[in-house]
A and B are shown apart, each in its own frame.
Chain A
């Protein structure tokens, strides 16, 4: 008789765990579906006559996919300010690498 409350607590705990797992499963599955949709969109657009814009469109979709992974999978939105600053710093210096190098090749004659 005295085991019943314990059993009931254990069962409630199990149900909570299952609910939490399922919630995680569904939300992440939704993101995965979005990522695949974007993948096939970019594949399709590659065959469209976009001329010089093919690369831009392809990279733009890739950027959106990367942002989804960073936001929902890496949870950068919930990370500390310090971590977001760290990620930002990396982008700033990659941007500097690109900017200064391209200043050179764009203005050579």
Chain B
């Protein structure tokens, strides 16, 4: 008996020491959590968008929900608006974020407090940011009031429409305001860890400031910043509360539209909400994938 037990224990030990177990064992809870909760959520949305599993209203399998979406002019306009918001915010955030990092890293006096202040709105919830932007940029917000007090405008109506506006300026400003520090801090961290020596080397070799930026700094920043950019794009594409507070009632961005359809008193609109969810998910992942492939190609070319 004893002998057998010890064989089993030895066998068990050996198994536990096995490479794949030591790799996949510790990963299992994390992967399990993501696959079950997240995969479940997305999978269910997909099934229900096809009219499956929906107790009562589901008559599936069918593509009716998607057909209705394509036929719905509101969906098309929402999609365009969402893409506009995400692309514009991301581009502005990259340019301004990198610019801010380049400025901040060469600050000799007061760099520490400046960097701390720069990060101040990073941990802030987006709802707070949206409320604050509304109070600043609304037609009766602080800027408009200052303009009125200094005689630049006559009344709220003569202040430019920066929130609830057709170009989603308020939403974009909120995103940029929130994401510039994010990109900036990532860029700053990369520059500080490696940038200085390389740039110094380039300088000794006689590179102009523009050449140093183009051939040293930007290639250095590219991989890290691109990862941050992917997150920024995905976020600005998918967020809900900011457009709800700062956007027009029509058209609404896709996440807001999905939620509207989900909470419609008519439960028959729910498959459409699921279909919108699936569309958002696929679009974001497609853009992210395309972006990362493009990024790797660019990085390889830069390296040459």
Q: Do the two chains belong together in a single complex? A: no
Binding site for A on B (CB under 8 A): none
**Residues of chain A at the chain B interface (Cβ within 8 Å):** none
